[in-house]
Structure 1
Amino acid sequence: MRRWRCVAALTASALLLGACGTDGEDAGAKPGASGGTEKVTFEFWHSATAEPLKSFWADLVKRYQAAHPNVTIKNVGIENDSYKPKLATLTQSGRAPDLYSTWGGGVLKQHVDAGLVKDLTAETADIAGDFTPASLVPYRFDGKLYALPTDIGMVGFWYNKALFARAGVTTPPATWTEFLDTVRKLKAAGITPIALAGKAKWPGHYYWAYLAMRVAGLDALRQAGETGDFTGPGFVAAGQRLKELVDLQPFQKGFLGADYSTPDGQAATMSNGRAAMELMGQWAPAVQKDAGKGLGEDLGFFTFPTVEGGKGVATDAFGGGGGLAVGADAPPAALDFLKFALKEENHRKAVEAGGVLPVLKGEESAVTDPGIKAVSETLSAATAFQLYLDQAYPPAVGQEVNDAVAELIAGEKTPEEVASAITETAKSEAE
């Protein structure tokens, strides 16, 4: 129970704080890190396989290696839905990549407990203050820092303004009732309302998680995180609201077999105008452009609707970001490269390209993409923040959330069965 509660603490809301300016430093080799002549090779695992981040990281690797001829970085980009199981397989064998992407929360905590990652607290004390406080939250346990953030953001609805207009929808829905009405109007106009990667599962969990926040409220999520009990009426009601949506058959044909970023997946379906909405994080515009034609000025963003009578509020945000952890056996050059990548003058380029949101103080002015700017502004006004449930909890519990919600969406589980399945896994994990 002690380990479960430590992980569950990440489900608590975190106040999103503002930021002020900072100056970057020139990159350079550091004694004992990568400035010697000894040959060093390390692996860098990440899921940035779409533009602009694919080229961003490739360029950083190239520049770092040019400045440090003794260092070879194996740049291993793995598509998101393959990345998670491959990382899980490696860490279950008792190893971790030298430098690798993490979403923090319960998954990273498990790696920490297994001794697979380095405690970066002391070695990053000189730069930790450069980051916005909220961006560091998913990577801290017991006051120690085990990864550095590269992105932060939130999940919301991305929508096609032209398709909304064709269906006679003039403003984005603000309540769940209005949202269901919007779905009906889109269907009546012959438009597929929502693109969903049913095969990937994790995009579906966003609906249940947000509905739990809106219906039961963040306090209920915190309590469930501590007790492992998700059978309360608010969680069952969240499933019932989701079933209301599923019963309208809002998703594209073949959605149960669709992945997220494949040519026929969720992002491409949205990007090519074959669906009016997708519930996705701040990376959506970039992946849409990479997967299809892109919507340009027709792409809009709105927050997840409130639920009438629910305890949650519209300004409670759900999402997370991305960070990089350093494996316990990694050479010093891995952390040196990470620090190089996160210098303001380097990371700012990823923000300007629309690939990520600011995690460093002073980067806010680099946000130029209208959609990403909308997310940034929504985050800045957020009253509380909830980490993705499949990352906030231990891996087995997070996977059960994804699996159980996917079965509800497929019509194979009832709302009550979803709540019971998650609870059973959480209780088992706590024993």
Structure 2
Amino acid sequence: MRFLKLKRAAVGALALAVVLPAAACGGSSGPSGGGDDKTLTLWHMEQPPNRVAAFQKVIDAYNATNPEYKVQAQVQDWNQIYTKISSAVQSKTQPDILFTIPDFTTYVRPLGAVRPVTALVDELDKEHTFGDAAKAAYRDDNEYWAVPLYGMVQMLWYRKDLFAKAGITDAPKTWSELLADAQKLTSGSQKGIAVPAGKNLATDQVIYSLMLTGGAGNFFTGGGEVAFDKPQTVAALSLYADLLKQSPSDAGNYSWGEPQAAFNSGAVAMAIEKGQYLAPFEKESGRPASDLGCAPIPQADTGGEPGSIYYSNAAMVLSGDDVRAKGAEDFLRFVLKPENYGPFLNAEPGLFLPLTEDGAKAPSWTDNEVIKKYQGCVDAMLEQSKTGGLFGFVDGQYVDSIGKISGQNILAQVVQRVYSSGESPAAAVKWGDQQMREAVAR
């Protein structure tokens, strides 16, 4: 798919003025991120202990090859990273490697430290073959600004055992079926579904998946102006409000972990999330793997289409000089080698999906016990990825102001206005439209 740049001239000029000279001149000298002169600092936002430990094993394996620059990881928080990276770049203490997603990249680039990695992406593409969707959202101004590492996509997860008790034989395919099933599954202390309503990225992601399946995934005009206030958006938010009525009463505090915990405990029967539901299901639920159901996210009854939020996660290089940047690139080459890629992806089997052809076939990934046990769901996620999308990057867009919107969790705030303040979906969407316009104008 060809991506069309959609940016205001002033913003584009600012990005060129700030980013390109810093990259061309090598930026600041000396170590970044507080490391010593032979240590590269890597920031990632994957906080669960199993992911931290698995990433560390890959880093340890790289450091054991005795590279000139060893890598040291520092775990960050998605809820604080926008402010933290801005301060770090200003003080020239940014990390050498920063994990990213497309909209976050558009926020970081104008800060002035991100280096183009076009030659490296082209080299890795030739060696491993990236999918087009993995690369497209990171290409702008004829350069790649991050190296794709892993994909993520959402599914509808459901408890087959609880469905059977309620007399439901199939996963819902439409919004009306989803709501009807959620209502039927809500009984006593059990709720039909858990959707988050906290001011966080988790809420942004779930509401956006429903926007996509309702035809509201593109909330910009052809010229890149905000066009959030439209009937399809109101319809998606109305459904979300109805689903929240079938969710636990503390959904207003939910992020990623709470819906999964409720799902595994049997307190809820459905959830919309990414593939982190696979690995802990048997242990945390006490149920066999066969009780974990997965299906495409239901579509609007009228005008619906297949879809899910989809992320190509990547790594930016922010090193302050060319020599350190080369060291950072060497580490990323190491990660994408098939023998190393599997251990990296299996930091959370099923959540982190391969983005390269040889990685998808590598025994280091396919032989993982979780991947083999839930092969049907893994294949379904890979299929769902084909219809995935991300705000600011659908329908051939590259909206470089999207980071200003996602950084404020405006989608989640729209949900909160309905859930916590009792505002009508139409009024909340109108408010969100105005907030987005003000955000991109700053």
Q: 1:127 to 1:186 in 2, by over 3 A?
A: same
The one-letter code matched in structure 2 to 1:109 is T
Contact 2:156 2:272 in 1 (8 A): yes
1:410 matched residue in structure 2: 420
Q: Secondary structure at the match of 2:99?
A: strand
The 2-side partners of 1:226 and 1:303 are apart by 29
The one-letter code matched in structure 2 to 1:128 is D
2:28 matched residue in structure 1: none
Contact 2:215 2:305 in 1 (8 A): no
The 2-side partners of 1:71 and 1:216 are apart by 47
Q: 1:364 to 1:41 in 2, by over 3 A?
A: closer
Provide structure 1 residue ranges, at least 5 long, that are not aligned to the other structure.
8-37
1:172 counterpart = 2:180? no
Contact 1:153 1:376 in 2 (8 A): no
Judge which range, 384-393 or 203-212, deviates more: 384-393
Contact 1:99 1:327 in 2 (8 A): yes
The one-letter code matched in structure 2 to 1:334 is A
The 2-side partners of 1:6 and 1:52 are apart by 43
Q: Secondary structure at the match of 1:347?
A: helix
Report the Cα offset of residue 406 of structure 1: 2.6
1:321 counterpart = 2:312? yes
The one-letter code matched in structure 1 to 2:313 is G
Q: Secondary structure at the match of 2:148?
A: strand
Judge which range, 371-380 or 337-346, deviates more: 371-380
Report the Cα offset of residue 400 of structure 1: 1.4
Q: 1:191 to 1:167 in 2, by over 3 A?
A: farther
| Residue of 300, 315, 331 corresponding to 1:337 | 331
1:19 matched residue in structure 2: none
The 2-side partners of 1:292 and 1:321 are apart by 30
1:397 matched residue in structure 2: 405
Q: Secondary structure at the match of 1:325?
A: strand
Report the Cα offset of residue 121 of structure 1: 0.4
Q: Secondary structure at the match of 1:283?
A: helix
Q: Secondary structure at the match of 2:298?
A: coil
Q: Secondary structure at the match of 1:97?
A: coil
Q: 1:225 to 1:377 in 2, by over 3 A?
A: farther
Contact 1:175 1:306 in 2 (8 A): yes
1:20 matched residue in structure 2: none
The 2-side partners of 1:411 and 1:405 are apart by 10
Q: Secondary structure at the match of 2:122?
A: coil
The 2-side partners of 1:63 and 1:341 are apart by 10
Q: Secondary structure at the match of 1:67?
A: coil
The one-letter code matched in structure 2 to 1:277 is M
The 2-side partners of 1:288 and 1:103 are apart by 27
Matched length: 393
1:49 matched residue in structure 2: 47
Contact 1:100 1:325 in 2 (8 A): yes
Provide structure 2 residue ranges, at least 5 long, that are not aligned to the other structure.
12-35
Judge which range, 90-99 or 317-326, deviates more: 90-99
1:35 matched residue in structure 2: none
1:300 matched residue in structure 2: 293
1:260 matched residue in structure 2: 256
Judge which range, 169-178 or 385-394, deviates more: 385-394
Q: Deviations over 1:199-241 (max 9, x none)?
A: 35333233432333233355x5453782212112222222223
- How big is the alpha-carbon RMSD for the aligned residues of Structure 1 and Structure 2? 3.4
Q: Deviations over 1:131-151 (max 9, x none)?
A: 222211222223311111221
Q: 1:104 to 1:49 in 2, by over 3 A?
A: same
Contact 1:351 1:357 in 2 (8 A): yes
Contact 1:41 1:74 in 2 (8 A): yes
